[in-house]
Every structure is written in structure tokens, then in C-alpha cells.
Structure 1
Amino acid sequence: MSGWQWVKLVGNFLNLSTLAGGLVGVVGRAEFSRGPRGLFFANGYRLGFPVAGAFTIGNVILSKHDRSYFDDARLVRHEERHSWQYFCLLGLPMLPLYVVGVVVSFLLTGDPASRNPFERLANLKDGGYVEHPVQPLGRTVTQAFSGLRSRPKGP
């Protein structure tokens, strides 16, 4: 690990974001392992939220998939960039700011990542995202409601 990666590792422990990521992993019954550059992998995450292939809290990258999911170096770099965002935002303030980014991106594009500054700074392509163009708000609202109507009804 580089000196800066050590600084981020310690900083994200001190700002409690890595500890929060570990707690979320324990609650989600994930299996932990060491990753590269001061990261920790929490695989087999069993909770249904958030709906993502992987997500990061502090230096912990959580995924519902097995460890081989992180064989994709681009994805790991993408998630590592999120760990830097936690460091720069002093930890857990990242979470509500990220949610604001999701809402703004969804309103602008109908997609939670395309205009989310956190995803853009982490590199959309590395995270497996496709960039959607800005669209009129009316189209976004129509898409959202048509998606709700097309969902199958529960029992």
C-alpha cells in the first residue's frame, strides 16, 4: 500500500465509515476478506438494499456476489474511488450527499447514476454504468409511473 492509501485506511477508520461498512456487512451476513490497497471485501451480502452489484461504505466494498466478482480490476478501482470520497467528506456525511446525487440524477436523466457526481467522479464506465442523457422532467416522471404500473402485483 502507498502512504496515501494508509492515510485513507486510518482516516476512514477514524471517521467511522469503515466501521459502519463492517457493521452493515455483519448485519447482511457477508463474508469478509482483505482486498488490495487497504480495502475489505464483504461478499455474500444478503439484504436487498441497496439494489446494486456492489456498494462501498468507508473502505468496505459489499456485494451479494462471491469473491470472484472483484476479479474485475476496473470495478475495484471504481469502488476504491468511492472510499476516497468517504475520506474526503469525513465519513458518513457521504451517505446523505450520495442520496441527493441519486435523486438529482434520476430527475435529470431517469437514471440514478448518470448525473450523480459521486458516480461520475468514480468513473461511470468502471462501475459498469451506461451514461444516459439529460431529458425533460416530464419524460422522467412518465417513465417512473409507467415502471410502477408495469410491476406485477404481489400476492
Structure 2
Amino acid sequence: MSGWQAVKLVVNTINLSTLTGVLVGVLGRARFSRGPRGLFYATGYRLKFPVAGAFTIGNLILTKHDRAYFDEQPTLIKHEERHSWQYFCLIGLPMLPLYILAASWSLLRTGCPASRNIFERLAGLDDGGYTEYPVQSLGKTLSQAFSALRSHPRGQ
């Protein structure tokens, strides 16, 4: 672990973002272990939200998968580590509502929560396994959303 990675680990602990991640991991009944470069893993996460292969809160990367999932995806770890730096730069928990706003904006503009999400773009869309979708009209986005709702009625 480099000196700056150690600073990030300490700051993300003090700013409560990593501790919030631990709380989310406990609620999701995840198993915790050390990862590289001052990161930690929470594997076997059982909650259905958020819908993602992995997500980061502070210095903790959470996934429903087992630890081997990370070993097989080194670029994903780099992507998630960049998110841990975003928590560091935004002084922790303000990252969560800002991320939700950025994902909402991206969803409105492209139909995808990542394509125009500044946090995902800065973390590297490709490294995170995302496809970049073009900006489209709001009408097209709403039409796609309503079509998806019609094809998946409630209760099924």
C-alpha cells in the first residue's frame, strides 16, 4: 500500500464512508476480507439493491459474488478503487446523494445510469464493464421506460 492509499484508508474511515459500507455489508450478510491497496471486500452480499456486479462505499467493495470474482477482474478493482478516491475527495458520505443525482441525470439522458454519470466516467466506464450509450431525447428515454414497464407487469 502506498502512502497516499494509506491516507485514503484513514480519511475514508474518519469520514464514515467505509464504516457506512461495513454497515451495509452487515445488513447484506456479507463476508469481509482484505483486498489490495488499502481496500476491503464484502463478498456474498445478499440484498437486491443496488443492482450491480460490485459497488463501493468508502474503501469497501461489496459484491454478491465470492472473492474469486475479484481475482478474475483486475480492471474492475481499479474501477472500484477510483470510486474509493471519489469518497476521499468528496469528504465521504456526500458522495452517495451526488452519485444518485449523477445516475439519475445519466438515466434521463441516455436510458442508462452509467453512460453520462460523471462518477462512472471518471472511474472508467470500460473498466467498470459499462457500455457507453449516446445521449437521446427525453421523449425517447420516457418511451423506453414505459415500454419496459408494460412488458414487466407487477406481480410477475
User: Do Structure 1 and Structure 2 share a fold, with TM-score over 0.5?
Assistant: yes
Paired AA for residue 107 in structure 1? L
Paired AA for residue 56 in structure 1? T
- What's the Cα RMSD here? 0.8
**TM-score (ref. length: structure 2):** 0.98
Residue 100 of structure 1 is matched in structure 2 by 101
Corresponding position: 1:54 with 2:54: yes
Correspondence list, 1:1-155, <5 A: 1-71=1-71, 72-154=73-155
The whole-number CA distance in structure 2 between the counterparts of 1:150 and 1:137 is 20
The whole-number CA distance in structure 2 between the counterparts of 1:95 and 1:123 is 18
Paired AA for residue 88 in structure 2? F
CA shift for structure 1 position 136: 0.8
The whole-number CA distance in structure 2 between the counterparts of 1:153 and 1:102 is 24
CA shift for structure 1 position 152: 4.1
CA shift for structure 1 position 18: 0.4
Deviations 1:57-77 (A, max 9, x none): 000000001111101110000
The whole-number CA distance in structure 2 between the counterparts of 1:88 and 1:153 is 40
> What SS does the aligned partner of 1:32 have?
strand
Paired AA for residue 122 in structure 2? L
The whole-number CA distance in structure 1 between the counterparts of 2:27 and 2:138 is 37
CA shift for structure 1 position 153: 3.5
The whole-number CA distance in structure 1 between the counterparts of 2:102 and 2:146 is 21
- Gaps of at least 5 residues in structure 2 are none
Deviations 1:25-45 (A, max 9, x none): 011000001000000000000
In the TM superposition, structure 1's runs of 4+ consecutive aligned residues that sit over 4 Å from their partners are none
The whole-number CA distance in structure 1 between the counterparts of 2:137 and 2:114 is 17
Q: Percent identity?
A: 73
- Gaps of at least 5 residues in structure 1 are none
The whole-number CA distance in structure 2 between the counterparts of 1:127 and 1:19 is 23
The whole-number CA distance in structure 2 between the counterparts of 1:153 and 1:113 is 26
